Structures are given as structure tokens and as C-alpha cells.
Amino acid sequence: MTLILHEHPLSSFCWKAKTALYDMGVPFEARLVEPYNEQSWAAHLARWPIGKMPVLEDTGRGRVIPETSVIIEYVQTFHAPAAGMIPADPDTALRVRLLDRVFDSYVMEPMSRIVAENFRGGEDPVGVAQADALLAKSYAWLEGELARRTWAAGEAFTLADCAAAPSLFYADKVLPFRASHPTLGAYLGRLEARPSFARTLEEAQPVWHMFPGRKAA
């Protein structure tokens, strides 16, 4: 196996990378990183000292690639040049990259902050309120931005949709939006039906009980 994705099946960013790999039809091996297993975690830090997941290892090219957006672009460049995760058209590619950053930074990040506060005991109500406010702003902007589009940047499934799938799926668990934002809710429904993301969700089922959600009011 040339490509090895070092990941955890509950990690939202790992979902992003796996969805892209499945959608591109690129074979890979998923290897579990166990943060509470000393040996597993030490090996992961040796690959990427920052410690974030996932990390892609390309044994055929002798490369180790961190960061999900870079992983997806790397795989398209060297293993699936016709995949279209980043379109050839410059204007469309810029829209894809912008939406990728919006989903990662303004949906995934505040969602993760809310979940992390619950995991730590919920001792930062100001931080949680700020995260809720950022999510609300993002929902409102995306509701207009995604109108009349099948996928995030247009009619083709791209990097932006790989970022959207886990961020919106998890965000809907901590600050539900389907009833209040019908365009965004319908878009999430299409993402959940996409075979690549549906497969990723199915693989996470055995560990889904570990997701802490948000602290009850």
C-alpha cells in the first residue's frame, strides 16, 4: 500500500481527508492513532511534531504530508490528477479554497471549541458564547452563499465539500440549524447521501458514543 492515512475515526479533520480519498477513488490504508497509547502517540509525533491528525504517508514517494487541505491537494496532484477536488479554472479554484477555509475556520473551529469545553467540564461560558455567535454568523452567510448551488462552489464536488461535510455534521449536533437554515440543511442532507461521506460516517459508528457533544444547559 502506497498511501497510509494516520487517523482517528472520530476526528472531524480525518473525516475530511477520508471523504476526499474515497471520492477520488484512491486506495489507501487507514491506521489508527491512539492519543492515550504512549507508543502510538510517540510514533505519531515522530511523523508530525505538531500532533494534529490526520497525517498522510506516501511510502512510494517517501513523503509525509500533514494538514487536510494540503493532503487532498497532494493526492490530486500526484495520484488523481483528474479528480477535480481543486478545479482547473482559477476563479472557481479560489472560491473552493475560500469555502474550504470558511468551513474549517468558522464552522469546524467554533464547533470544536464548544465540544472541548464540555470535555474539559464546561468552565468557559464566555468562550462558548463566542463560539455560538461565530457559528450563527457562519450559518447566516452560508445560507445565502450556497443558494442555488448543488455543492459548495457550484455543480462539482470539491475540496470545499470535503471540508463542509464533517464541520456541518458536527456543528448541527452542537447548534442545530436544519430548521432555521433550510438551504444549509438541505446541503448537509446531500453531503450525508454522498457515498464517500456516507462511508466515512458508517466507519465512525463504532466510536460515535465517544462524541461528547455540548454541555447540557
Per-residue pLDDT at 124 exceeds 90: no
CATH 3.40.30.10 domain extents, the chain: 3-79
Q: What is the architecture, at CATH level 2, of domain 3-79?
A: 3-Layer(aba) Sandwich (3.40)
Per-residue pLDDT at 139 exceeds 80: yes
Per-residue pLDDT at 122 exceeds 70: no
pLDDT digits 0-9 by tens, 24-70: 999 999 999 998 999 999 999 999 999 999 999 999 999 999 999 99
DSSP run (H or E) holding 162: helix 159-174
CATH 1.20.1050.10 domain extents, the chain: 90-195
User: Distance of CA 58 to CAs 40, 47, 82, 85, Å?
Assistant: 19, 12, 19, 19
Helices (H), 55-146: 68-79, 90-102, 109-120, 125-145
User: What number is the average pLDDT over the span 99-114?
Assistant: 96
The rounded distance, in Å, linking the Cα atoms of 108 and 105 is 6
Beta strand segments in the chain, E? 3-7, 29-32, 55-58, 63-66
Backbone angles phi, psi at 6, to 5 degrees: -85, 115
Predicted local distance difference test score (pLDDT) of residue 213 = 72
To the nearest 5 percent, what fractions of the chain are helix, strand and coil?
Answer: 60, 10, 30
Coil vs helix vs strand at 105: helix
Tell the CATH topology of 90-195.
Glutathione S-transferase Yfyf (Class Pi); Chain A, domain 2 (1.20.1050)
The rounded distance, in Å, linking the Cα atoms of 182 and 160 is 19
